[in-house]
Amino acid sequence: MSKQVKLKKGFDIRLIGKAEKKVGDYQPVKTFAIKPTDFIGMQRPKVLVKEGDTVKAGTPILIDKKLERVMYVAPVSGEIVEIKRGEKRKLLEIKILADGEINFENFEKFTSSEIKSASKESITDKLTASGVWPQIIQRPYGVVANPDDTPRAIFISGFDSHPLAPDYNFTLKGQSNYFQAGIDVLKKLTKGKVYLGLSSDEKSVELASIEGVETTNFSGPHPSGNVGVQIHHVAPINKGEILWTINPYGVVQIGKLFINGIYDASKLVAISGSEAKNPSYAQTYIGSCVDSYVAGNTKSNNFRVISGNVLTGEKINNDGYLGYYQHQLTIIPEGDYYEFLGWMKPTADKLSFHKALGLMSFLFPKKEYTLDSNVRGEPRAFVQTGVFEKVTPMDIYPVYLLKAIMAEDFDEMEELGIYEVVEEDLALCEFVDVSKHPVQQLIRKGIELIQYS
């Protein structure tokens, strides 16, 4: 019987604009891009192509000199039309003009029995050469895993509890055979277990019958779907240990590689948000340009486009590119205005974790809201106690951890749980923080201090 974990701490940000379970009628995407900035910890990228080169889906276009075995490949076939650089020649994007029909690099196909009999070394070589390896993320630090390591265990969260998150029952429909093959591959990479977290509140049709995993059912508000929270409650990480994580899409992509012998970067992306006229799903590939999903699909001319969700996503231009790990595009109103005494005016139309003067959203627990990007305040000293802990279902003290990071106190950071968290695990703290601290930036600063010390 599956283990049950009920989380009480956390907070669901209920927003208008969840994607309907249908594939929308969007214009075909013409350009795609791989952005080194999507891969946290990549410090020495090396471009393997030049402008004008022709590539196939699966052709290596980039490596990190720290992990030269790991190939970052083209998601589609076509022509390299731009290698975009920023200040000090920092590599920003490698853009590809896609062919009308995708052509693939061919890799060796495996049967189920061949996967189970293959060695860890041969599995690793295939994953790193084909381009799917970057889907595997290491804890601690939240960086692309080192293929030379052997993790204590591998964790997968089978549901997403972020605001307006895509429904995995829809995006993974009909792909359970690929997911099972991906699990069989991952089991070869660890001497421990492969853990799968599922939602107790919504049955997972595609993942419930997967074999070879230890399943835990989680219930409760966000961040119950965060893999870091699930690790904390199932098998916490200790100093000196290494765990790997991967999202369900990455598992499916591994399965397609071994069964079909191709690097398949196709995915369903949720186009969501209160500013989207027709929130739905788009069939596309990794790194797609978002102009096809934004142009003509907004309710006003003053909006913000976010690659990802409103808590952890990245603001991009209207013709920007979807992040490598993102399965969601969110369009919300821009918050470029000043509202005099906004938090004091009696209203039930603003969502707040706090039962503050005038903000009465707590009286309507099921209501959905339209929120914009206005932070409604300015940075100030920490003025509260106990609030961060109410939205963090982990046995850590977020305020003290953040203060230890600010003070660059390495011993305190380690004792207070820096190895257990990445940015998304404390993103809710940033949402409820009346002091307006950049919590996620601080967490990344602390991780880098520990990682490179």
Asked if the structure places residue 159 within a domain, the reply is yes
pLDDT at 340 over 80: no
pLDDT band of residue 410 (cuts 50, 70, 90) is very high
**Backbone phi, psi, residue 67, to 5°:** -130, 70
Helix (H) or strand (E) holding 294: helix 291-294
Distance from C-alpha of 294 to C-alpha of 297, rounded to nearest angstrom: 5
pLDDT at 35 over 80: yes
Q: Which of 39-53, 236-250, 370-384, 389-403 has the lowest mean pLDDT?
A: 370-384
Do 387 and 244 belong to one domain? no
Q: What is the CATH number of the domain that holds 216?
A: 3.10.20.600
pLDDT band of residue 363 (cuts 50, 70, 90) is low
Q: What is the CATH number of the domain that holds 46?
A: 2.40.50
Query: How many domains, in total, are found in the chain?
Result: 4
Asked if the structure places residue 201 within a domain, the reply is yes
Do 4 and 53 belong to one domain? no
Candidates 52, 26, 25, 101; CA nearest to 289 is 26
Residue % of the chain over a pLDDT of 70: 95
Asked if the structure places residue 105 within a domain, the reply is no
Do 82 and 120 belong to one domain? no
Asked if the structure places residue 35 within a domain, the reply is yes
Which 3-state string (H, E, C) describes 85-140?
ECHHHCEEEEEEEECCCCCECCCCCCCHHHHHHCCHHHHHHHHHHHCCHHHCEEEC
Whole-number pLDDT of residue 358: 47
pLDDT at 145 over 80: yes
pLDDT band of residue 366 (cuts 50, 70, 90) is confident
What is the arrangement of strands in the sheet containing 314-316, beginning at the earlier edge strand?
Answer: 280-285, 266-272, 328-333, 303-307, 314-316
pLDDT at 357 over 60: no
Asked if the structure places residue 104 within a domain, the reply is no
Asked if the structure places residue 107 within a domain, the reply is no
Do 298 and 351 belong to one domain? no
User: How are beta strands 280-285 and 266-272 bridged, if at all?
Assistant: antiparallel
Asked if the structure places residue 103 within a domain, the reply is no
Q: pTM of this prediction?
A: 0.94
**Domain span at residue 364?**
341-371
Do 64 and 170 belong to one domain? no
Between 39 and 350, residue with greater pLDDT: 39
Whole-number pLDDT of residue 362: 62
pLDDT at 1 over 60: no
Do 9 and 44 belong to one domain? no
Do 245 and 392 belong to one domain? no
What is the token pair recorded at 360?
Answer: 């009465």
Do 208 and 195 belong to one domain? yes
410-418: average pLDDT: 95
Do 216 and 139 belong to one domain? yes
Between 414 and 377, residue with greater pLDDT: 414
Place of tokens 């369900």: 248
Do 355 and 394 belong to one domain? no
pLDDT (tens digit per residue) in 152-203: 999 999 999 999 999 999 999 999 999 999 999 999 999 999 999 999 988 8
pLDDT band of residue 381 (cuts 50, 70, 90) is confident
Establish whether the linkage from the previous residue to 223 is cis, with ω within 30° of 0: yes
Do 367 and 387 belong to one domain? no
CB 92 within 8 A of CB 45: no
pLDDT (tens digit per residue) in 272-328: 999 999 999 999 999 999 999 999 999 999 999 999 999 999 999 999 999 999 999
Do 321 and 207 belong to one domain? yes
